[in-house]
């Protein structure tokens, strides 16, 4: 600290100029360009070169070495019906090992169907099923449940939308799983369009119209019950434009199935069977459920939740958890999602 007085200000400035110049070299380094995402390196801080210079060893677990951490929404189970005809990389590898090549016919809904012709690939979305694509879900017997399922995907998350000058929406997400959910909702006609501190706007495509006729639905965002490793679930409480207060929740099957209401388990057995099938195919699954709250019940919870959040006691997190636990009950099952974590090249052979 004493030597700091002997270093002239001009030397500090010279060092900062060198750092900025080195950051320019980093931005232009062809070896740090990523072809897959078509993005060069972008140094956001002048001391990045110092940080990189300290890296000596990179440690990774086996999951990180096998997978790319690139999630794709590939299958789902809604109201006891399985949707999604795509074949996972694990299924391809298993079939290849058994010597049974997978043809262009696959099981879907109890009967074989031809795979859909390849359409332009959307990053994060690989669901192929004509029964729910392009607004065809409106003709399914449980169309109301399917609609609520898609709305939950579009609302229950912490993503931030970014709208460009062409009105195209992209998403910033905490995890690739959440990005895959909102992208899937968008591709299925329920586009997460705008978020503020107090509201969420969904742009829904009218399935009854042949043209892209959008309807904007603004939900009042009341509470976000965030995901944690102990809770193993996440919920949001919103108020519909029609005035109903809804709790949307998604989480691990071991937690969610224990929180279903007696009259909300209509499709439980079918959903559990589909989840087991998805897990056998190497997919990551989440259970989706919801419930309608009355005004009095929500007001009691809101007061309890607010008191817990402003509490300065050491057990503040426990109080917040207890408040969330009290409202995340008596849920009605909607279905389950199945997301594929893409394997790296050679990963299927290692798997």
Question: Under a CB-based contact definition with an 8 Å cutoff, are residues 89 and 283 in contact?
Answer: no
Classify the phi-psi angles of 189: left when phi > 0, otherwise alpha if psi is within -120 to 50, otherwise beta. left
Count CB atoms within 10 A of the CB of residue 45.
10
- Give dist(CA 190, CA 336) in Å, integer: 17
DSSP 12-57: HHHHHHHHHHHHHHHHT-GGG-BTTTTB-----STTHHHHHHT---
Question: Under a CB-based contact definition with an 8 Å cutoff, are residues 321 and 231 in contact?
Answer: yes
Task: Give pLDDT, residue 106.
Answer: 44
- Give dist(CA 87, CA 316) in Å, integer: 46
**CA-CA distances (angstroms) from residue 329 to 223, 284, 293?**
16, 24, 11
- Give dist(CA 148, CA 87) in Å, integer: 26
Q: Which CATH superfamily is domain 71-350 in?
A: Calcium-transporting ATPase, cytoplasmic domain N (3.40.1110.10)
- Give dist(CA 131, CA 74) in Å, integer: 14
- Give dist(CA 93, CA 172) in Å, integer: 32
- Give dist(CA 238, CA 152) in Å, integer: 11
DSSP 289-315: EEEEE-HHHHHHHHHHHHHHHT--STT
Single pTM value for the model: 0.76
Question: Under a CB-based contact definition with an 8 Å cutoff, are residues 182 and 175 in contact?
Answer: no
Determine whether 61 is an active site residue. yes
- Give dist(CA 62, CA 57) in Å, integer: 16
- Residue limits of CATH 3.40.1110.10 in the chain: 71-350
Six-digit token string for 118: 């390849």
Helix (H, G, I), strand (E, B) or coil at 108: strand
Write out the chain's pLDDT in tens, 351 residues: 777 778 888 888 999 999 999 999 988 888 888 887 788 888 888 888 888 888 888 776 655 556 666 788 999 999 999 999 888 877 777 777 777 665 544 444 444 444 444 455 788 888 889 999 888 899 899 999 999 999 999 999 999 998 888 888 889 888 888 999 999 999 999 999 999 999 999 999 877 665 557 789 999 999 999 888 888 999 999 999 999 999 999 999 999 999 999 998 989 999 999 999 999 888 999 999 999 999 999 999 999 999 988 877 778 888 888 889 999 999 999 999 999 887 666 554 444
Six-digit token string for 132: 């729910």
Strands 199-205 and 214-225, by their bridges, are: antiparallel
**CA-CA distances (angstroms) from residue 67 to 63, 116, 187, 202, 346?**
6, 26, 24, 32, 10
Active-site hit among 34, 38, 56, 61: 61
């Amino acid at each position: 600290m004493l030597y700091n007085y002997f270093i002239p200000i001009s030397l500090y400035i010279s060092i900062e100029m060198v750092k900025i110049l080195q950051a320019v070299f980093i931005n232009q380094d062809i070896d740090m360009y990523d072809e897959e995402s078509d993005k060069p390196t972008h140094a956001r801080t002048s001391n990045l070169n110092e940080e990189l210079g300290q890296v000596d060893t990179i440690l990774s677990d086996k999951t990180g070495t096998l997978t790319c951490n690139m999630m794709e929404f590939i299958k789902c189970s809604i109201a006891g019906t399985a949707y999604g005809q795509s074949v996972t990389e694990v299924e391809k590898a298993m079939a290849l090992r058994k010597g049974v090549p997978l043809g262009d016919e696959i099981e879907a809904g109890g009967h074989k169907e031809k795979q859909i012709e390849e359409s332009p690939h959307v990053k994060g979305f690989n669901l192929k099923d004509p029964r729910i694509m392009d607004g065809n879900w409106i003709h399914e017997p449980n169309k109301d449940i399917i609609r609520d399922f898609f709305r939950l995907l579009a609302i229950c998350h912490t993503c931030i939308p970014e709208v460009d000058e062409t009105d195209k929406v992209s998403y910033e997400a905490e995890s690739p799983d959440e990005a895959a959910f909102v992208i899937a909702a968008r591709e299925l006609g329920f586009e997460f369009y705008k978020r503020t501190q107090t509201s969420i706007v969904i742009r829904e495509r009218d399935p009854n119209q042949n043209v892209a006729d959008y309807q904007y639905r603004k939900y009042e965002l009341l509470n976000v019950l965030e995901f944690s490793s102990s809770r193993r679930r996440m919920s949001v409480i919103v108020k519909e434009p029609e005035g109903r207060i809804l709790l949307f929740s998604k989480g691990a099957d071991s937690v969610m199935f224990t929180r279903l209401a007696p009259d909300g388990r209509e499709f439980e057995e079918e959903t559990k069977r589909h989840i087991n099938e998805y897990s056998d195919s190497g997919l990551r699954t989440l259970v989706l459920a919801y419930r309608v709250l009355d005004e009095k019940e929500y007001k009691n919870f809101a007061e309890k939740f607010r008191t817990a959040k402003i509490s300065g006691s050491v057990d503040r997190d426990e109080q917040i958890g207890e408040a969330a636990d009290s409202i995340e009950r008596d849920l009605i099952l909607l279905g389950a999602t199945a997301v594929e974590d893409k394997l790296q090249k050679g990963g299927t052979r290692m798997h």
